[in-house]
Structure 1
């Protein structure tokens, strides 16, 4: 099962090896521009290198749950959504009035085209994930959220697609998302308090990591064992290590994950374990005899690892949660 999946699958989605046929390598796009003086036109160069130009700044925006969650946190309510789950099951939409959005897809790769057309989107936003540690995008794979290139092309015929690459550090992806949000009209004033909260959360985590507690993030399955994420390949984990988090290299040559059998999980001892919300729960993992013998498990230092949207609001929440977990934990290895 997992051999055919990607990093984002185990965190909360399905195949996440996205790109368009425009570029094979991921580089941040050119400078975004909103309305051009005197023309009313709007243009944005995304992370695949594609430049989207519209007659006016878009106001009806649809897209991948992960991407539109960030826009909503900045005050831009999307008209339609699609993704791995329904919005009610996505932590990034807690507290939102979900009646304001038409869900045109609640299972990965399944999009109701007619329902999407009915919402008359002017722009669709999604993500692309690299295929290796260098950040390379695969032009032969669909962007994240689409079943295949044919479906992606059909959707692109409804409205242009803007892509933000999920590569490098989350700190950079967050800022890139801000650039896009500002291009569609989010004001600097609207971003000020969320940015302060985000910066404060990062400083809190920086202080919490001073304890030196070691951490590993995993996705586990009863018949397959434990998949340990590699921090350099996950934007969020990479950003935490930049703030001082002690995240041991699990080894192995595969991209993103190191698969470990239940029998061998005791070779990977950390003070804290974070478990994916899209895989076995912490309680279920504790039922595995070997996992239960891990120092973190014996100490009750096993906490949720949630995928959070790449914006100031969502990241501040998740970073504060991680800091709280570290603040309440102790050295056990």
Structure 2
């Protein structure tokens, strides 16, 4: 560790099983004239953060924040920031940014893959392959389907972009529908409009943050409204879906299937019934994995550090979530 405060301090927690050293190196490559230090132990973190003004990491506990006497910017390495002590950061006047946009390509591809999995019924083919059973089965086409995307942030937009070549009709759901979006229709969370969209939906993609509005959004009534040929794809947060209602809908054949990258609870317990459905695809919160994660994140963080150099704490940074 350097004696003086580094220009960028990287905290020790990594993600997706990729060494955090790769993240620090990616920032160094983009900021060759800056000092970028990686704190690899708790003691190094406590020592280095005392005078650091610009810090980046996956998380920041309140105890460590209390030691940060000079902190101006915390660049969260996740898109979600609900795990951070936001109230304490706000009280300290710390600007918080996130990793919005980093996941667009990989999660967009994950969603398209999940949709095609059900469209062409690959799960049925896999089951018959395991049984060495050469027997035809019916499949469907994606073309002409209606895909509803709840959440038109960076991930939702990436999903819509990747769906364009498939000839689908798209409905976007967002808090401010007047902003428009990359879908054929854009609606809000108004009950009547949302219910009407669900009734027309073949594939429902959840790409929204977890808020008071979206918690439990897909409940029993929503699942009944969706219809028996519809498929749910959740890459948002588990509690956006009422899990008990989803299990009941699957048992009653109220929907055709579900692709779940997130669940409630999470991790999904071994004895949970969702594991047992042949028309449920489960991935362990893995849609966000990409070998490009640290490079894309470093692009954002390096640009924000340059802006910070020019304007200090009042700089107009990318991806600000606080204040």
User: TM > 0.5 between the two?
Assistant: no
Which has the greater radius of gyration?
A: 2
Query: TM-score w.r.t. structure 2 length?
Result: 0.34
Query: TM-score w.r.t. structure 1 length?
Result: 0.34
